[in-house]
Structure 1
Amino acid sequence: MALQLYHDTGTTAANLVAEITALRTQRQAVILAHNYEYGEIQDLADYVGDSLGMAQYAAQTAAPVLVVCGVHFMAETAAILSPEKTVLIPDPEAGCSLAASIDAEQLRAWKAEHPGAVVVSYVNTSAEVKAESDYCCTSGNAERVIRAIPEDRQILFLPDMFLGSYLRQQTGRAMEIWAGECHVHAAIRPTMVEQQRSAHPKAEFLIHPECGCVSSTMHYLATGKISADGTHILSTEGMIRHAAASNASQFVIATEIGVLHRMRKANPEKEFLPIDESISCKYMKLITLEKVRNSLRDLTHVVSVEPALAARARGAIERMIAL
């Protein structure tokens, strides 16, 4: 059952959706929603996807108003790519623990310790950090980005240490890795993997490379403690594609629980189980129907990036999209 999210007890979900639909038309707006948002937010969005897909859609749409249902760096990315558009975020407090793990001053100091290194920043970073980076990436294209860098160049990867560790093992590239983490993915522990594997031995196990248990999962795979059959380390979009194509009827999903809504909606005949019900991002869940309605009605809260900073950050983002 969907959670009741509305402070105005006289307003039903159906009424809020109707208001949002009318306001969207009035404002000529599009609504972008991340996979981790509540199901009712995903259902009314013009686009649902990961950070890369949201960035691409924001850049390509002709709509003058973008409502970004996600966290703040996603709205910043949209503003960087589309400076002529009005970019709104329904709740300005929707931050990101991973993005907060490094700032531009820390990155500049790290670069000074490794002159000439290529800086690859996960998209979960502030505009200031992107401006100091050579490439951005998502979990979906991070390996492609790393492999595109000449082998004689040193790589600084930030800020997700779990994704960095996974990429180092997958590509064999020597990399310096920033010790940052997402509080949600870091909460996924090896014991959760073991418990769910034991409880659902026939289910396929889909895990995000940012998860804190990825390194141990790879170890379990190598030593045979976890069967390689049915275990897949995938980006969010990779998970969704795999679930649709697989003949399996049951899946255990090791990432933020919001993505299960999209999987269940696309594959109603299949069963999708969370690795643990607690794996939920409190920042993503700040976005509600009421706040989306208010944002469109009042044109709040506008997210913009200073033009010179945006120009520097745009290069790293455009290299990500090109790859």
Structure 2
Amino acid sequence: MTVSTEVLARTAPLYERVRSVIPAIEWPAFADDIDAILRLKRERDAVILAHNYQTPEIFHCVADFVGDSLALARHARSVQAGTIVLAGVVFMAETAKILAPEKTVLIPDVQAGCSLAESITAADVRLLRQSHPGVPIIAYVNTSAAVKAEVDICCTSGNAKSVVESLGAPRVIMLPDEYLARNVAAETNVEVLSWAGHCEVHELFTAAEVRQLREDYPGVVVLAHPECPPDVVAAADFTGSTAAMSGYVEMHSPPRVVLLTECSMSDNVAVEHPSIDFIRPCNLCPHMKRITLSNIRAALERNQHIVEVETSVAERARLAVERMLAL
């Protein structure tokens, strides 16, 4: 791909930011799209919200706000721009539209789904209410707008325990991530009933893999996401959301660390901590990887893949999300 010297010069400062994780030979393949996206954002009064699982050329070079699901929800509610491009998956774009109904929300690829969101429907939630009358229902943000509209409150991996205990109930239902629910249940006296949904990325990690990592890399610090199976969480040195894992690295600066989560998370944290040795036995999220610079550019150029949420659904879902954000 031929890229003009002018584009390479304009994007050179951005490459300096990510040179530790993107080889120089790959940069020309990104530079033209990055340059165009930066221009289009100004022309379209647009901002890009990027999840921690986005690749470094998106996360560090074109995103205006980055973070985990909780952070992105808060940014969606507060940004001033008229257009939001959600560099993440569909449920995140729906959440942004729920919290900012007056804004145009674009998703670069409508096929960017989530195994957790696809594991449960609104009808399933209604049946759970019938089976467990009076029991509060918590939906992980990794759910559709239709599911959020049927529950009492939402949570993220970073605030799940706080949400459970905020309800003041002896028993709650947490859906759809079984492992997150079980891991939270181990930290609270509240009885947590779970659903049999799993993240296709985090469910692949095993306790045996953790043991092997410790043998192969003596002294390695193991950080696990709470969507991992409970035996993986038990074998780790620290468990937390993507934001919490990043915070741990920032605070403790372990010489060698492994993040048991989606691959790009390690790359994005490594950019900020070049002296730390990041071991990467990570798993790719095929849905997150559907978001690319080229389809972000196309979304801005064509104003395409506009996210809409039916008003009656959005109003009820907003209550559940706002209750979470108010904690």
Q: Settle same-fold status: TM greater than 0.5.
A: yes
Q: Is the 8 A contact 2:52 2:67 kept in 1?
A: yes
Q: Which residue of the partner structure matches residue 233 of structure 1?
A: 239
Change (3 A) 1:310 1:242: same
Q: CA RMSD in A?
A: 1.7
Name the aligned partner's letter for residue 231 of structure 2. S
- Does residue 319 (structure 1) correspond to residue 319 (structure 2)? The answer is no
- Aligned-pair CA distance for 1:201: 2.2
Specify the code of the residue in structure 2 equivalent to 1:166.
N
1:39: which partner in 2?
56
Contact 2:207–2:231 (8 Å) recurs in 1: no
Distance in 2 between residues matched to 1:144 and 1:233, nearest whole Å: 15
Q: CA deviation at 1:263?
A: 1.1
State the match for 1:295 in structure 2: 299
Deviation, 1:233, is 1.1
CA–CA distance in structure 2, aligned partners of residues 247 and 90 of structure 1: 35
How many residues get paired?
Answer: 304
1:172 Cα deviation (Å)?
2.3
Please state how far the C-alpha of 1:217 moved relative to its aligned partner. 4.1
Q: 1:188 to 1:242 in 2, by over 3 A?
A: same
Tell me which amino acid in the other structure corresponds to 1:72.
Answer: V
**Does the 8 A contact of 2:253 with 2:276 survive in 1?**
no
- The answer to whether structure 1 residue 215 and structure 2 residue 219 are counterparts is no
Match of 1:237, as an amino acid? A
Deviations 1:119-170 (CA, angstroms, capped at 9, x unpaired) = 0010000001000011100010001101111134x31110000000001110
Counterpart CA distance in 1 for 2:244 and 2:121 is 29
Match for residue 69 of structure 2? 51
Partners in 2 of 1:130 and 1:176 — Cα distance?
Answer: 17
- Aligned-partner SS, 1:143: helix
Structure 1 segment 93-242 matched on structure 2, within 5 A:
93-152=111-170, 154-212=171-229, 214-218=230-234, 220=235, 231-242=237-248
User: Which ranges of structure 2 fall in alignment gaps of 5 or more residues?
Assistant: 1-20
Helix, strand or coil: the match of 1:150?
coil
CA shift at 1:249, angstroms? Answer: 1.1
Q: CA deviation at 1:57?
A: 0.3
Q: Is the 8 A contact 1:64 1:86 kept in 2?
A: yes
Contact 1:101–1:180 (Cα < 8 Å) also in 2: yes
In structure 2, the residue matched to 1:254 is: 260
Residue-by-residue CA offset, 1:3-27 (whole Å, 9 max, x unaligned): 99x9xxxx83111111101110000
Distance 2:123 2:241 in 1: 30
Shift in alpha-carbon separation, 1:298–1:3, aligned structure 2, 3 A: farther
State whether residues 206 and 231 of structure 2, in contact with CA within 8 Å, keep that contact through their aligned partners in structure 1: no
* Alignment partners' CA distance in 2, 1:179 and 1:106: 12
| Equivalent residue for 1:27, pick from 34, 41, 44 | 44
* Identity of matched residues, %: 41
Deviation string 1:156-189 (CA, Å, 9 cap, x unpaired) is: 1100000000011101211211111011111111
Structure 1 residue aligned with 2:275 = 269
TM-score, with length taken from structure 1: 0.91
1:10-52 superposed Cα distances (whole Å, 9 cap, x missing partner): x831111111011100001000111111111102100111111
* SS in structure 2 of the partner of residue 314 of structure 1: helix
Q: Secondary structure at the match of 1:170?
A: coil
Tell me the secondary structure at the aligned position of residue 183 of structure 1: coil
Q: Letter of the aligned partner of 2:284 in structure 1? A: S
Structure ranking higher on relative contact order (CA contacts 8 Å, 6+ apart): 1
Which structure 1 residue ranges, 5 or more long, are not aligned? 221-225
Could you tell me how far apart the structure 2 residues matched to 1:238 and 1:309 are? 31
Residue 254 of structure 1: CA displacement? 0.7
TM-score (norm 2): 0.90
Q: Would the aligned equivalents of 1:162 and 1:215 in 2 still touch at CA under 8 Å?
A: no
Superimposed CA distance per residue, residues 236-264 of structure 1 (whole angstroms, 9 cap, x where no aligned partner): 11110110110421101111111112211
Distance 1:101 1:269, change over 3 A: same
Distance in 2 between residues matched to 1:2 and 1:108, nearest whole Å: 47
